[in-house]
Amino acid sequence: MLTLLPAFQDNYIYLLESPTGLWIVDPGDAEPVENFLQAQQCTPTAILCTHHHRDHVGGVRRLAERYGVPVYGKGPLIPAQTVAVHAGPLELDGESLQVLEIPGHTLDHVGYLWKNYLFCGDTLFGAGCGRIFEGTPALLYASLQQLAALPDDTQICCAHEYTLANLHFAATIEPHNAAIRHRLEHCTHLRQQGLPTLPSTLAEERASNPFLRCGEPSVIAKARSLGAQGEDTLSVFTCLRSWKDRYQDDSHPYRFTTSSN
């Protein structure tokens, strides 16, 4: 069973109950996790970290100490880390996971795939992708391509509720894309009811996420009009990502210094 715990302004902390364990993904804050575990009377077995940003790891040390569980992550910036992960299979509580190295937002960014659940942190968002803080456009694009190669029904468990704002941006890139319009309506309805727009599926992302559609003629044409250096997918991606960095959506005020989006 998958649980999304809202944290801070727009983060989600994921709790995934496997047949043999309970895994916490990206606990930026310990308190909502502790409250949930207490209410449900259950104990976690592991903490999985996608990258070192504070809104993903701020609660790790407190939870690891309180519950005495191992902490998985790549690189030395993950607090209280006990297991350094690398691309490839990972055995956890007797279950088989796959670790994907997906740098670009940060250099230590990884994703965790268990069955069809993908925990991708701040690399791929609903209808968007992470901001480039430590990598290059080429690095992030290669990471997104790696995720885009997963099956259609992959559940995209990303760490922020940015989908609506991203869809408004996507609609400016592809105003005639019906999948974007439908998703915008659907997600608007969900948010009005206070419900999350996540997880999405990879099929939905392929249809409506401009950062996975850099080879589409409509996206190439728009990128050219925005000053893309060429028509190859990396030039298109680089242009869209930099345009998004400067994009201001009046209905979703843009927070330059804090947004991961």
User: Smallest distance, Å, CB 131 to Zn ion?
Assistant: 8
Distances (CA, A) of 24 to 34, 69, 116, 234, 260: 11, 10, 17, 34, 20
Does position 183 bind Zn ion by CB under 5 A?
no
Minimum CB separation of residue 258 from Zn ion in Å reads 10
Catalytic residue among 26, 29, 52, 55: 55
Q: What are phi and psi of 19, to 5 degrees?
A: -60, -25
The answer for residues whose C-beta is within 8 angstroms of residue 184's C-beta and 6 or more apart is 164, 167, 168, 171
Establish if 122 lies at the interface with Zn ion (CB under 5 A): yes
Residues touching Zn ion: how many (CB under 5 A)? Answer: 3
260: contact with Zn ion by CB under 5 A: yes
Shortest separation between residue 10's beta carbon and Zn ion, angstroms: 12
Task: Indicate the residue among 49 and 180 with the shorter CB distance to Zn ion.
Answer: 49
Other residues' Cβ atoms within 10 Å of the Cβ of residue 214? 24
Label the pairing between strands 95-101 and 110-114. antiparallel
Active site residue 51: yes
Task: Tell me whether residue 176 is one of the annotated catalytic residues.
Answer: no
182 is catalytic: no
The SS3 assignment for 251 reads: coil
Decide if 122 is catalytic.
yes
Segment lying near Zn ion (by CB under 5 A), choices 45-53, 191-199, 236-244, 247-255 = 45-53
If one asks whether residue 53 binds Zn ion (CB under 5 A), the answer comes out as: yes
Please pick, among 52, 56, 109, 168, the residue that the annotation labels catalytic.
56
Tokens standing for residue 59 = 């609660």
- Nearest distance from C-beta of residue 206 to Zn ion, angstroms: 23
Nearer to Zn ion, 53 or 241 (CB): 53
Rounded Cα distance, 54 and 234, in Å: 29
Does 109 qualify as catalytic in the annotation? no
Beta bridge partners of 123: none
CA–CA separation, 238 and 160 (whole Å): 22
Among 52, 53, 109, 168, the active-site one is 53
Q: Please, which residues bridge with residue 16 across strands?
A: 2, 23
Cis peptide before 79 (omega within 30 of 0): no
Q: Is 160 in the site for Zn ion (CB under 5 A)?
A: no
Q: Are 112 and 99 in contact (CB under 8 A)?
A: yes
Options 12-20, 21-29, 52-60, 217-225: segment touching Zn ion (CB under 5 A): 52-60
118-126, 197-205, 222-230, 248-256 -> range binding Zn ion (CB under 5 A): 118-126
Q: Which residues are catalytic?
A: 51, 53, 55-56, 105, 122, 160
In the complex, the residues that contact Zn ion under the rule CB under 5 A are 53, 122, 260
